[in-house]
Amino acid sequence: MSGENIKEKEKKQKSKYEILLEKEKKLLSAGGKDKIEKQHKEGKLTARERLQLLFDDGEFEEIDRFVEHRITEFGMGDKKFLGDGVIVGYGKVDGRLVFAFSQDFTVFGGSLGEMFAKKVCKIFDMAAKTGSPIIGLNDSGGARIQEGVLSLGGYGDIFLRNVRYSGVIPQISAIMGPCAGGAVYSPAITDFIFLVKKTSYMFITGPEVTKAATFEEVTKEELGGPEIHMEKSGVAHFLAENDEDCIEKIRKLLSYLPRNYLEDPPFIPSEDPENRKVEELKSLIPEDPNVAFDVREVINAVVDRDSFFEVQSGYAQNIVIGFARMAGKVVGIVANNPAYLAGCLDINSSEKAARFVRFCDCFNIPIITFVDVPGFLPGTAQEHNGIIRRGAKLLYAYAEATVPKITLIMRKAYGGAYVVMGSRHLLADVVLALPQAEIAVMGAEGAVDIIFRKEIQSSPDPKSAREKFINEYKNNFANPWKAAALGFIDDVIKPEDVRIKIIKALHTLEDKVDKLPPKKHGNIPL
């Protein structure tokens, strides 16, 4: 080959290299400088900036960088962007492999089209094959109208993967901008949803369609803003101040989760002694069953210091759920909270706790239940909205769970609510009770009014007779001794020993093996 031909060949090779550099530069510019600036003015990071915060420094590997849509109608043939509005890839978060996709609002408003969906589906499949969590950072205008049914089909393909991989790998969604129409269903199927104040919202039908259909005038925030889904609907699990706070909270959540259903959650050695006595429980849990207290104080006192990470803190606050560590091991906490509705179970709290129990069971996280429950909330609103069916979800979740289950009865455990809250009858492995625990069909006053109604009415001093019967009932039934005598409680313990006893039970149950009868799947009362 002549010298001239060699130089020409080198020139062509260099030209191809330069093309790559140009394409990479275009990728970084996303939808253009103006749109990036607008994103920042709205208080939002770009799709790429979010991924840089999520992953360890230099660890994110992007794939499908050069994918483009293939639509020519509506002038779309002249409107193409590399990546097609979504960034997908994988990398390390705190040294563990994680997959993610980040929707880019600067490109077609983050709208989903055929190739966009194919990229997301590819990353889902890779996450499942490698047994790794997947995180979706959502910031999208919804379906790409120009692509019609291709866009709808793309959503369907993603929904299928959400369902297929549910319980296989953890799935986390962050709503960091708009999420409307069919787009909300993918996050709804995932395990946890994060919202960001002032920038995110979720709804099936927007304010305009709502007004046209129902004549109801409502803003985006009133219809599906962060506060609505954190406090009223229960759709969301975590609320962040801004994008940076959201990413930080996602990283924290990941620290409690295993990579997949075959692994255990990450163990982090604790400096909090396993044999630490919790003296403050003597005063934190009042002996008087009618005195309210916030169960969060009890949880924080018992678990490893500063390890409790509450889930859905603003919703159905009569029950508290979240992750914590005990002796460095991750546990799931479910606790009645007497500070709200006296700790009664109702529709919202039952569904909130049931879904959390099922998640813990999916991913090998032991469940610790703190019980102080006077029963199910009475009233026509509860009955007419299906407390029978919907309350049964919690019963079903506990009965189905095969992970280690440890229950502490702090005070009241009345009626069917006693059974539902992780009792021995639903195969709790270890059931403990404090001396002030009351296990009964109902409270003493209600029981006496039923059992001794005739005696009280016929007494010359009905008030004194009623008080006498109430005291007798309390002495005979409003205590843990009858249940302990029947083996429904394994031990009655001192409050200061709660942490020690639970940790010993956790160690004992580390190698627990329990399996459900062979079947395709059960039929939870949805």
User: Which of the two residues, 493 and 21, has the higher pLDDT score?
Assistant: 493
Co-location of 473 and 491 in the same domain:
no
Q: Is residue 4 part of a domain?
A: no
Residue 166 and residue 48 share a domain: yes
Query: Is the per-residue pLDDT at 10 higher than 60?
Result: no
Q: What token pair was written down for 454?
A: 């005739």
Question: Are 409 and 459 members of one domain?
Answer: no
Domain assignment present for 88: yes
Its pTM surpasses 0.85: yes
pLDDT at residue number 72: 67
Residue 380 lies in a domain: yes
Query: What pLDDT does residue 71 have?
Result: 74
Question: Residue 356: inside a domain, yes or no?
Answer: yes
The helices-and-strands tally (H runs, E runs) of the chain is 21, 17
User: Which pair of tokens denotes residue 218?
Assistant: 């409502």
214 and 152 in a common domain? yes
Q: Poorest-confidence range of 12-21, 267-276, 303-312?
A: 12-21
Task: Assess if residue 72 is contained within a domain.
Answer: yes
Domain C-terminal end among 239, 254, 269:
254
Residues 147 and 291 placed together within one structural domain of the fold: no
Q: 502 and 400: one domain?
A: yes
Which pLDDT score is estimated for 209? 87
Mean pLDDT of 6-12: 59
Place of tokens 């390390």: 92
| Residue 32: pLDDT over 90 | no
Q: Is the pLDDT of residue 428 over 90?
A: yes
Q: How much is the average pLDDT of 18-37?
A: 85
Given a cut of 90, whether residue 108 has pLDDT beyond it is no
For residues 443 and 295, which has the higher predicted lDDT (pLDDT)? 295
DSSP state at residue 266 = P
Total of domains in the chain: 3
425 and 304 in a single domain? The answer is: yes
Contacts of 139 (CB under 8 A, 6+ apart): 44, 47, 102, 103, 104, 105, 110, 176, 177, 178
Over the stretch 160-180, which tens digit does the pLDDT of each residue have?
Answer: 999 999 999 999 999 999 898
226 and 315 Cβ atoms separated by less than 8 Å: no
- Residues 52 and 49: their CA atoms lie apart, in Å, by 5
> Is residue 320 a part of any domain in this protein?
yes
Residue 360 and residue 315 in one domain? yes
Report pLDDT for 143.
82
Measured between alpha carbons, how far is 506 from 430 in angstroms, rounded to an integer? 9
- Listed in sequence order, the residues at least 6 apart from 351 whose beta carbon sits closer than 8 Å to its beta carbon are 234, 316, 390, 393, 394
Residues 296 and 392 in one domain: yes
Closest CA to 271 of 327, 352, 212: 327
- What residue numbers bound the domain in which 359 lies? 281-442+479-508
- Per the domain annotation, does 196 fall within a domain? yes
What pLDDT score was predicted for residue 447? 85
Average pLDDT of span 113-119: 92
In a domain, 26, yes or no: no
Considering the domain architecture, whether residues 298 and 227 belong to the same structural domain is answered as no
Predicted pLDDT at 68: 83
For residue 13, is pLDDT > 70? Answer: no
Instruction: Point out the residues that are catalytic.
Output: 181-182, 416-417
pLDDT: which is higher, 290 or 325: 325
Distance in angstroms (rounded) separating the CA atoms of residues 325 and 304:
6
297 and 364 both lie in a single domain: yes
The residues, ordered by sequence, that sit 6+ positions from 408 with a Cβ below 8 Å of its Cβ are 368, 369, 370, 371, 432, 433, 434, 498, 502
Clarify whether residues 471 and 501 are in a common domain: no
- Name the phi and psi angles at 165, rounded to 5: -100, 5
